[in-house]
Amino acid sequence: KAGVTQTPRYLIKTRGQQVTLSCSPISGHRSVSWYQQTPGQGLQFLFEYFSETQRNKGNFPGRFSGRQFSNSRSEMNVSTLELGDSALYLCASSSGAKETQYFGPGTRLLVL
């Protein structure tokens, strides 16, 4: 079974721009969660989607948003990028029954 895939793998943007990242979960998984990883703050939860509905949200500003489609694929959007948004953005999927989350390879975002 194929793992979680994320696109693009690398991205360079400038301050003030917006960016959209994509995540395809493991086949059959309906829950998709997003995390931000930085050297200073470590791994932090952004939000979780299940059946196209946001089920949980972390402590991030409204510039961070997401959505999930009917095929469980998910996107996250960051508007008005700031230098501090430079990070590895990780997507994880899990099945409805099990809580274990399986992570994708991440998207490395650099904001200049």
* Site of interaction with other proteins (CB under 8 A): 4, 31, 33, 35, 42-45, 48, 50, 55-56, 58, 90, 94, 99-106, 108
Residue whose structure tokens are 């997003």: 34
Q: How far is the CB of 111 from other proteins (least distance, A)?
A: 18
Nearer residue to other proteins within complex by CB, 17 or 52: 52
Q: Give the residue from 26, 23, 30 showing the smallest Cα distance to 9.
A: 23
The pairing of beta strand 42-50 with beta strand 53-57: antiparallel
Q: How far is the CB of 51 from other proteins (least distance, A)?
A: 13
Q: Give the residue from 97, 92, 107 showing the smallest Cα distance to 20.
A: 107
d(Cα 25, Cα 22) in Å, to the nearest integer?
A: 10
Nearer residue to other proteins within complex by CB, 72 or 101: 101
Q: How far is the CB of 3 from other proteins (least distance, A)?
A: 9
